Amino acid sequence: MDVTASIIRGGAATAATAAGIGGYVAVGWLDFYGPGSLSWLGVIVALSATALGVGAAFAASGHMATPVLLLLALPFCGFFLHNAAEDRVLAVRGVSGACRVDDVRKTSATVLNGAPEGGNSTITGNVHRLSCPSGGPSELNIEKAARPGSTLHLTWDPDRRVDPRPTADVPHGEELVLPSLAVVAVLLLAMTAGFGHDRTEPS
């Protein structure tokens, strides 16, 4: 196999995959920082990002392993990036304050558990009715119940794009570790598109 051609193929697939990852970053920006974009726009961008990375790897690769693995890995990478973008909101523009708990009520919801054997799972939570400084949330749903009359220190998004959280639970950088590792792993995977035999017809 020609080494130069292999490097070119791997580089092309990696560049296209990097552009696809950029598409996932754009989805996070649209959802949490953009100017109120239509909800379907992020879906289109995410699907286009996946098609770009997988399509380029399929065109450049001499084997099917890399495109198939990218088809699985790219959406996971996008999921991690999207979650990190959501987590960054409160760290970047969150407003913190002390809120009084006026009332607490327990809630439960039944959801599919996703296990192969099927069945349902019950998710419980505690909805706290709050009195917060101006602009703060009126409710908070968390697993652990606080005592009515107590004070919770919360951080909330003034743009209301993400749910409020206890200030102690707001991440400050560690949420970027997993998506960064995912990006590196996906780019290394894309590089393998240059390996394998050329697709040439026998003479």
In order of 59, 180, 185, 195, the CA distances from 54 in angstroms are 9, 20, 15, 16
Residues 122-138 have pLDDT tens digits of: 778 899 999 999 989 99
Q: Can you name the residues that pair with 129 across neighbouring β-strands?
A: 103, 139
**Confidence label for 103 from pLDDT (cuts 50, 70 and 90):** very high
Instruction: Determine the Cα–Cα distance for residues 114 and 80; give it in Å rounded to an integer.
Output: 20
- The lowest-confidence range among 60-74, 82-96, 113-127 is 113-127
Tokens 């990478």: give the residue.
77
